[in-house]
Amino acid sequence: MQVMGDLARLRAVTGKTHVVIESQVQGASMGTAIPDGAHIRIRAGPAEGLHTGKVIAFLTTSRVMAHRVVYEGRRGAARDFVITQGDGNWLCDPPVERSCIVGEVQSLACEGEWRPIGAARIHLFRRLVAGTSRALICLALDCNPAFAVWISRPISRLRRAPRLVWLRLRLYFADHVRN
C-alpha cells in the first residue's frame, strides 16, 4: 500500500533529524487557529519538550494530522502517550503514542504570510462537552493506556454526532415552519 510506505519513509526521516516540513491543511478540525487550506511548517524530530497547548503533527494509520495537545500521560506507560484535540472538534482524539508524533507545528501561512499559531478559541458549550470526554479518557490513560485507546474509539466516532443532530433539527424545523 502506497500510503503506508510513505508514512514509513516519513517516520524514518523525522525520527533521526530536525527538519522543517511544509504541508497544506485539509479540513476544519483546527477551527480558526489553522483554517482549511492553510500551509503549515512542522519542525520534525523527536517528541521532546511538547506540552499542553502546543499544536503537533502526528501519524495515524492513513494520514498526518495536526491537532493541539490537551493532555500528557503522567504515570508509567501513560507517559508514552498524549491526548490531542482539534480546536474545531467536539471531542478529543484517541491517545497518540509519542513515537507517532512527527513534530511541532510552528507556523502557518494564509495568503502567503507566515505567522505563529494562535491560542485555542473554543466556545463554552463545546469546551464543556469536550471536557467531559477528555476527563474520562485522561483518567483511563493514566490507569491503563490500552483501555484508554479502546474506550476512546467509540467516543471518537461520536465526534460527528452533534453536527448530524444539528442538521436534522434544522431540517425538521425548516419543514415544520413552512407548513
Q: What is the pLDDT of residue 1?
A: 37
- The CATH number of the domain holding residue 150 is 2.10.109.10
- Give CA 24 to chain center in angstroms: 15
Domain count of the fold of the chain = 1
Burial bucket for residue 22 (CB in 10 Å: 0-12, 13-18, 19+): exposed
Give residue 154's domain range: 2-178
What is the chain's mean pLDDT, rounded?
A: 82
What end-to-end distance do the CA atoms of the chain give, in Å?
A: 53
Tell me how far apart the 2 most distant CA atoms of the chain are, in Å.
64
* pTM of the complete model: 0.78
Q: What is the pLDDT of residue 168?
A: 78
- pLDDT level of residue 11 (50, 70, 90 thresholds): low
Q: What is the pLDDT of residue 71?
A: 93
Q: Where are the beta strands (DSSP E) in the chain?
A: 19-24, 39-44, 55-59, 64-72, 81-85, 96-97, 101-110, 113-116
52-106 pLDDT, tens per residue? Answer: 889 999 988 778 889 999 999 988 899 999 999 988 888 888 999 988 888 899 9
What angle, rounded to 10 degrees, do the helices at 145-157 and 124-143 form?
Answer: 150
Residue 142 identity:
D
- The sign one gets for the Cα dihedral 85, 86, 90, 96 is negative
